[in-house]
Amino acid sequence: MSLKDYLKSKVFAVQVFVALLIVFVLGYLFMHWLTFTTDHGNEITVPNLAKMTEEQVEETVDDLDLDYVLLDSVDFNPAFPKHTVVEQDPMPGAKVKKNRKIYIKINSSGFTMVRIPNLIQKTYRQAVPTLKSLGLEPGEITYKPDLAKDMVLEMYCNGKKLNPGDKIFKSSKIDLVLGDGNEGFVEPTDSLSTETPPNEQ
């Protein structure tokens, strides 16, 4: 039988069918084996741990056969209670395996204090990044007559004048008084002082 006739024969067709069937069966068995060994289909949904205390986190993850690792505390965030979870990884809703570690960060106990930097005679563009690097926020801006345009002349927080070195809470808003580029002009008065020459003797 020639090769051409063999390829057209029923024997060849049956052999191809049997080979494909074997591949399908082996693939099916392999997938079942893979599912069994990797525990596929038994994934755990990561809970939302936000605003939980560490004790509550431990209880929650234990019930789900998960674990947690406390990475660090972060700067106080007023949107979260003290000593509660602010950040977590993996995020809530993620699918994980049994005994997976959830990494968390805890809110600190309160705002920390920082010293006011010396921004006097600094430009507004220089002052803003300096404030933000210390965890402070630029607040309202007002202007007063001064030749130095946009130069910091005074600093305030909640209406109280600040001096360089003063301590305030992080996240405080610092109001700045800037120069408007125009020095105050005083109208001349008509009362010109004249000196009376001394009496001749």
Write out the two tokens for 174.
Answer: 């610092």
pLDDT for the residue numbered 171: 81
pLDDT band at 196 (very low <50, low <70, confident <90, very high): very low
Q: Does domain 113-179 have CATH number 3.30.10.20?
A: yes
pLDDT for the residue numbered 1: 60
Spell 94-119 as b/e; 16+ CB within 10 A means b: eeeeeebebebebbbeebeebebbeb
**CA end-to-end distance (rounded Å), the chain:** 157
Domains 44-107 and 113-179 share a fold: yes
- Mean pLDDT throughout 87-102? 94
Compute the distance between CA of residue 45 and CA of residue 93 in angstroms, rounded to an integer.
Answer: 5
For residue range 128-185, what is the model confidence (pLDDT) as tens digits? 999 999 989 999 999 999 998 999 999 999 899 999 999 888 888 999 999 998 875 5
60, 124, 179, 184 from 152: Cα distances, Å: 51, 6, 7, 17
Peptide bond just before 188 cis, omega within 30 deg: no
* Domain made up of 44-107: CATH architecture: 2-Layer Sandwich (3.30)
Is the model's pLDDT at 37 over the cut of 70? no
Q: Where are the domains of the chain?
A: 44-107, 113-179
